[in-house]
Structure 1
Amino acid sequence: MEYSVLVPFLQRRPEQVLPYAALVEWTGARRLWQGQSMLMEPFQTLSAVAGAGFRVPTGLGVTLMPLRHPFEAAHLVKTLAMATGESVVAGFGPGAKTFQQSLLGAPYRSQLTAVREYLGIVRGLLDGEVVDVRGEYYSCHAQMGPVMAPPVELGLGVLRPGMARLAGEVADVAVSWLTPAAYLDEVVRPALREGAEKAGRTAPRVTAMVPVALERPGRDVAEFVLASNSGHMQAPHYIDMLGRAGIDFSNLDPKSAGRLMADAGAFVFGDEEQVAKKLDEFRMAGVQEVVLNLTGVCNLYGPKAAMEDLKKILAAVGAERRNSGE
């Protein structure tokens, strides 16, 4: 299993991301990831980082479909691959229904149909095909000119079985967020295999965005959970996913809910050795890549503390991998 790094804050200048790109370049971390940002556009930020001399593999997890037409999405993905000279995992997702309503005037009647159309157009364009699609939500009659570029893989944000089955049909990578290892093993991966078998293809690999923090004197795990994921814990699709994973905090106060999230494996917390062992549960669950998400540490203690935790975790999992012979 590989370990990657998530930029744990919404940057206001691209140079704020440079230390994380350097960490990927100088350690065993596989890839630099960014989530969707409403401050600096992540495609442009990562291209600027490459222009500053840090050309590392990148991941977008996940960018929101209502923000751009699939032709623009394909263009941005290919531009990023050309700017970095490295592979790109371009993850997409429909976003919350309220977000769709705000930008599109109405939410997608069928989330799965919208995603299928979107990824189909993006893949066709990236493959150099003449795309001729008139869909319910997205249409495209165009072709992108052929150009030499590093490989691009399409990812799909996956929380529940329906989207996982679709990812099995159309995506290269299933990108999860806040999903316990056991839930990925018991719910998500079987659905991925089901979709892949239906399409006659290999199941996509799984990339898990895992919120994590190191235990230190005075630190309360509940505060980290809430600092990094309180918004997700109020979103209907996350509440539903967590309920399927056996995490019901509907009758709990916020701090008790945070502790339940950690106890159930949706947030990883402990000393270096404990964190390494808990992260290894994702490998045993069939995850190929864990993206270390230090957002909670950054929000509570700042980017310097997040970087310190990140370096120690990378060293710990590196030692764990060497000790296990990987």
Structure 2
Amino acid sequence: MNTYSILMPFVPQRPERMLPYAALTQWSAAGRLWQGQAPANDPFQDFTHLAASGFRVPAGIGVTLMALRHPYQAAVQAHELAVCTGHPVVAGFGPGSLPFQRSTLAAPYRSQLGAVREYVHVMRELLGKGEVDHVGEHFTCRSGLGQLPRPPVEIGLGVLRPAMARLAGEVADVAITWLTPAAYIRDTLVPALRAGAQSAGRAMPRIVAMVPLALAGPDRDPFELAMLGSSGHTQLAHYADMLRRSGIQVSRDDPAGNAAALVDGHAFLYGDAAGLTVQLEEFFQAGVDEIVLNVTGVHMRYGDRASLEELDALMEMVTP
């Protein structure tokens, strides 16, 4: 079943700022509310705050960085969030950039894919069996996790390039993409996901696509909105490589040019309701199961009220 969800379009310095977005998720047809990684807050705690405030909405963590928590702690937090909300949780993780790993670890993971594989294994054993006995190159965990009745926890991986997609096909429940054009998902990521799943003898993971977009308006500049919402990602090496693979050329020295390239390459969607509906449908046709509406650019340019109105209009647009 194709689903639309909502992304928190800013980093909430105080968790109560998430409440209107949780309310919109609860009262609209949105499948879940998503929050990504941020330097000043923890998304698991933010969603727990929402549940304690009366907004028990399905939560998506996509993606948080592995270096910030041991896989045992990740399993505990994902388990507890499912208990608190009473809804299934998607707990998405990724290794992050090499500079970030250098800033938090003694050294970057020797093998990015090897570290991810171990991380998922420890989490899955704890969440599924309640115990794990793992001594690996990157992580060690010999412990148990108390089991309580709870909704399912899906383990997600941030997926940008074919090697990670193949690994996600082998071990993950959900493959989470960000800033990836629909054609790139169809032609590059889906075949790798399928190959990984087939090699492991399992079903292919669900695909969740975080899609930055904005409705056209007389006072709006799509290049400005793309730059405000996505220019930071174009400065990261792994995102730049993914975009080049998809045919979008970006440069560390030209944020404005990068924004124009994102719009022209359909990594950032812009148009009227009819045009956006067609562009979004291309993601489902490419194999995506859940589209997460990302209006970060609108929020950064126009603020909370505008981003809430934008998300409300987009949900009305895509709801049958």
Task: Place the TM-score, normalised by the shorter chain, in its bin.
Answer: over 0.9
Residue 146 in 1 paired to residue 159 in 2? Answer: no
Q: Distance in 2 between matches of 1:40 and 1:118?
A: 22
Q: Paired residue for 2:66?
A: 65
Offset of residue 219 of structure 1 = 1.1
Amino acid at match of 2:273: E
| Pair 1:33–1:87, CA change in 2 (3 A) | same
Whole-angstrom CA distance in 2 between matches of 1:264 and 1:40: 32
Match of 1:172 in 2: 173
| Counterpart position of 2:286 | 285
Change (3 A) 1:251 1:302: closer
CA distance in 1, matches of 2:123, 2:185: 26
1:162 lines up with 2:176 in the alignment = no
1:51-200 aligned within 5 A: 51-200=52-201
- SS state at 1:198 partner: helix
2:234, 2:252 within 8 Å by CA — same for their partners in 1? no
Report the Cα distance in structure 1 between the residues aligned to 2:302 and 2:148, rounded to whole angstroms: 44
CA deviations 1:245-299 (Å, max 9, x no partner) are 0111349843232122111110011112211111111011110000001111111
Report the secondary structure of 1:105's partner residue. Answer: coil
1:224 aligns with 2:221: no
Give the letter aligned to residue 267 of structure 1. F
**How do 1:3-42 and structure 2 match up within 5 A?**
3-42=4-43
- Partners in 1 of 2:187 and 2:304 — Cα distance? 35
Q: CA deviation at 1:218?
A: 2.3
1:294 aligned onto 2:315: no
- 2:50 counterpart residue number: 49
> TM-score when scaled to structure 2?
0.97
What is the Cα-based RMSD across aligned positions, in Å?
A: 1.2
* % identical equivalent positions: 53
Looking at structure 1, the residues matched to 119 and 251 of structure 2 have their Cα atoms a distance apart, in angstroms, of 34
Helix, strand or coil: the match of 1:127?
helix
Indicate the larger mover: 131-140 or 248-257: 248-257
Q: Could you list the per-position Cα deviations for residues 164-194 of structure 1 after superposition, in whole angstroms to 9, with x for gaps in the alignment?
A: 0000000000000000000000000000000
Aligned residue pair count:
319
Corresponding position of 1:315: 316
In 2, the alpha carbon distance for the partners of 1:157 and 1:212 equals 20
Instruction: For 2:301 and 2:31, locate their aligned partners in 1 and report how far apart those are by CA, in whole Å.
Output: 26
Tell me how far apart the structure 2 counterparts of residues 135 and 279 of structure 1 sit (CA, whole Å).
41
Q: Structure 2: how far apart are the matches of 1:170 and 1:129?
A: 18
Helix, strand or coil for the counterpart of 1:136?
A: coil
CA drift of 1:145 comes to: 1.6
Does the aligned pair in 1 maintain the 2:250–2:258 contact within 8 Å? yes
- Matched to 1:119, the amino acid is V
Q: 1:226: how far off?
A: 1.0
Task: Give unpaired runs (5+ residues) of structure 1.
Answer: none
Q: Mind listing any 5+ residue stretches in structure 2 that lack a counterpart? A: none
Q: Normalising by structure 1, what TM-score?
A: 0.96
1:24 Cα offset (Å): 1.1
Deviation at 1:82, TM superposition (A): 0.5
Alpha-carbon distance in structure 1 between the residues aligned to 2:160 and 2:307 = 26
Q: What is the CA–CA distance in structure 1 between the aligned matches of 2:137 and 2:225, rounded to whole Å?
A: 41
Which aligned segments of 4 or more residues in structure 1 are displaced greater than 6 angstroms?
Answer: none
Q: 1:129 Cα shift?
A: 4.0
Question: Secondary structure of the equivalent of 1:60?
Answer: strand
In 2, are the aligned partners of 1:262 and 1:269 still within 8 Å (CA)?
yes
Give the letter for the 2:209 counterpart.
A
Alpha-carbon deviations, 1:40-92, whole Å to 9, x = none? 21100100101111111110000100001110000000010011011100000
Determine helix, strand or coil for the equivalent of 2:129.
Answer: coil
**Match of 2:119, as an amino acid?**
Y
